[in-house]
Amino acid sequence: MSSYTSAEKQLLLNIAQDSINEGLTKKQPLNVRVLDYSDNLRQNRACFVTLEKKGALRGCIGSLQAYRPLVDDIASNAFSAAFRDPRFSALTSEEYKEISIHISILSLPESMQFDSEADLVRQIRHGIDGLILTEGDHRGTFLPSVWDQLPNANLFLMHLKNKAGLPSNYWSKTLRVERYATEVIE
């Protein structure tokens, strides 16, 4: 996974902040001029933007597939985390002063091969892996940062099944799991 310089990280945080400000003033995400940025920041990458208010989740929206330049993905996801996360009301100007922004840039997801739930749990790397779980129309993901709240692989997997709309004890031979790592910018 490519790393970013401290200057690039600051630029990416500025894009997220500017996109939220644009949403507060103009009700739309920042229109990013992609060609104004370095090749590294124009690469197609997937990211999540997480907003926290006093340490509590205030919004989190992201992309699992890299399909647009990173700078565009950050601007869009920052706006959506602030104003379109269905779990929260739209961010207000007063709240904006209290939030912190975390950007998680995803590596390419890799399919995991396992023959049982116990085998899958053994392969999950604590604190490193983000997971995408898919079963038919059910799909859910947890970023690696979720390990802070769910400190063991069994709990992590049980809650991910719930997030995907499945019972925590659900198991099927057709269950698919992919893992990814993230580079976090805050």
Tens of pLDDT, residues 46-90:
999 999 999 999 999 999 999 999 999 999 999 999 999 999 999
The CATH label, of 3.30.1650.10, 3.30.465.10, 3.40.50.1820, 3.30.700.20, for the domain at 6-106 is: 3.30.700.20
Number of residues that make up the chain: 186
Residue 85 token pair: 């996360």
Domains 6-106 and 110-181 share a fold: no
The pLDDT-based confidence of 2 (bands split at 50, 70, 90) is low
Domain ranges of the chain: 6-106, 110-181
Q: Which helix (DSSP H) or strand (DSSP E) does residue 139 occupy?
A: strand 138-142
DSSP code for 144: G
Helices marked H in the chain: 6-26, 39-42, 70-83, 93-96, 117-123, 153-163
Q: Does residue 1 carry a pLDDT above 80?
A: no
Q: Where does 110-181 sit in CATH, by number? A: 3.30.1490.150
Tens of pLDDT, residues 4-25:
999 999 999 999 999 999 999 9
Sorted by sequence, the CB contacts under 8 Å of residue 66 that are 6+ apart come out as 43, 44, 45, 46, 73, 106, 108
Tens of pLDDT, residues 89-140:
999 999 999 999 999 999 999 999 999 999 999 999 999 999 999 999 999 9
Residue 115 Ramachandran class (φ > 0 left, ψ -120 to 50 alpha, else beta)? alpha
pTM over 0.85: yes
Q: At what angle do helices 70-83 and 6-26 cross, to 10 degrees?
A: 40
- Measured CA to CA, the distance from residue 90 to residue 86 in angstroms comes to 9
Q: Are 113 and 175 a contacting pair, CB within 8 Å? A: no
Residue 27 Ramachandran class (φ > 0 left, ψ -120 to 50 alpha, else beta)? left
Q: What is the mean pLDDT of residues 23-29?
A: 97
